[in-house]
Structure 1
Amino acid sequence: MANWSDPRQPATPFQATRADATHTAAYDAGLRSYMLSVYNYMTSAILLTAIVALAFAWGGASSPAAAVFTGGGILKYIIMFSPLAIVFAMSFGQNRMSTSTIQAMFWGFAVLMGLSLSTIFLVYSGTSIAGAFFSTAAGFAALSLYGYTTKRDLSVFGTFLIIGVVGLVVAMIINVFLQSNVMELVISGVGVLIFAGLTAYDTQRTKSMYFQVAGTDMVGKVIVMSALALYLDFINMFLFVLRLFGSGRN
Structure 2
Amino acid sequence: MNLNNYEGRVSYNEMDTEVSNSFIRKVFLNMIGGLVITTLVPIYVFFFNQELVYTLASYFKVIAIAEMALVFFLSLGINKMSSTTARLVFFIYSLMNGILFSSLAFVFHPISILYTLGVTVIMFVVIGIYGYTTKEDLTKYSKFLMTGLITIIIISLINLFIGAPLLYWAGTILGVVIFSGLIAFDINRIKYIAYEIAGNNDDEMVEKMGIIGALNLYLDFINLFLYLLRIFGKKRN
Q: TM-score, normalised by structure 1?
A: 0.83
Look up the equivalent residue of 1:48 and give its one-letter code.
Answer: I
CA drift at 1:34 = 1.4
Counterpart AA for 1:51: L
Larger Rg: 1
Alignment correspondent of 2:5: none
Aligned to 2:189: 205
The structural deviation recorded for 1:129 is 0.4
- Determine if contact 2:107/2:236 at 8 Å carries over to the other structure: yes
Residue 119 of structure 1 and its aligned partner are, at CA, apart by 1.7
Please name the residue that 1:230 is paired with: 217
Is 1:67 the equivalent of 2:55? yes
Q: For 1:176 and 1:63, how far apart are their aligned partners in 2?
A: 29
- Aligned mates of 1:95, 1:159 — CA distance in 2: 26
Letter in 2 for 1:64: L
Q: Which segment is superposed worse, 194-203 or 82-91?
A: 82-91
Residue 79 of structure 1 and its aligned partner are, at CA, apart by 1.4
Do structure 1's residue 129 and structure 2's residue 117 form an aligned pair?
no
| Consecutive unaligned residues in structure 1, runs of 5 or more | 1-23
Deviation for aligned residue 1:124:
0.6
Q: Does 1:29 align with 2:13?
A: no
Letter in 1 for 2:95: V
Partner secondary structure for residue 171 of structure 1: helix
* 2:201 maps to amino acid: T
Structure 2, gaps ≥5 residues long = 1-13
1:159 to 123, 129, 143: 143
Supply the distance in 2 between the matched residues of 1:150 and 1:35 (Cα, whole angstroms): 15
Contact 1:191-1:237 at 8 Å conserved across structures: yes
For 2:62, the aligned partner's letter is I
Counterparts of 1:211 and 1:221 in 2: how far apart (Å)? 16
- Partner SS, residue 94 of structure 1: helix
TM-score, with length taken from structure 2 = 0.88
1:53 counterpart residue number: 42
SS at match of 1:159: helix
The answer to whether the 8 A contact 1:146-1:200 is kept is yes
Q: State the percentage of identical aligned residues.
A: 31
Q: Tell me the amino acid that sits aligned with residue 112 of structure 1.
A: M
User: Is the Cα contact below 8 Å between 1:57 and 1:64 reproduced in 2?
Assistant: no
Instruction: Give the Cα separation in 2 of the matches to 1:97 and 1:183.
Output: 41
Give the distance between the partners of 1:59 and 1:181, measured in 2 at CA: 36
User: Does 2:166 match 1:182?
Assistant: yes
Question: Conserved in 1, the CA contact under 8 Å of 2:83 and 2:208?
Answer: yes
In the alignment, the residues of structure 1 paired with residue 218 and residue 40 of structure 2 have an alpha-carbon distance, to the nearest angstrom, of: 15
Give, as a single letter, the amino acid of the residue that structure 1 aligns with 2:188. Answer: Q
Greater length-normalized contact order (CA 8 Å, ≥ 6 residues apart): 2
How far residue 56 of structure 1 moved from its aligned partner, in angstroms, is 3.1
Q: How many residues align?
A: 221
- Rounded Cα–Cα distance in structure 2 between residues aligned with 1:121 and 1:42: 23
Q: Secondary structure at 1:95's aligned position in 2?
A: helix
Query: Residue deviations 1:27-57, cap 9 Å, x none?
Result: 3222112111211111121111011122234
**Whole-Å separation in 2 of the counterparts to 1:54 and 1:181:** 31
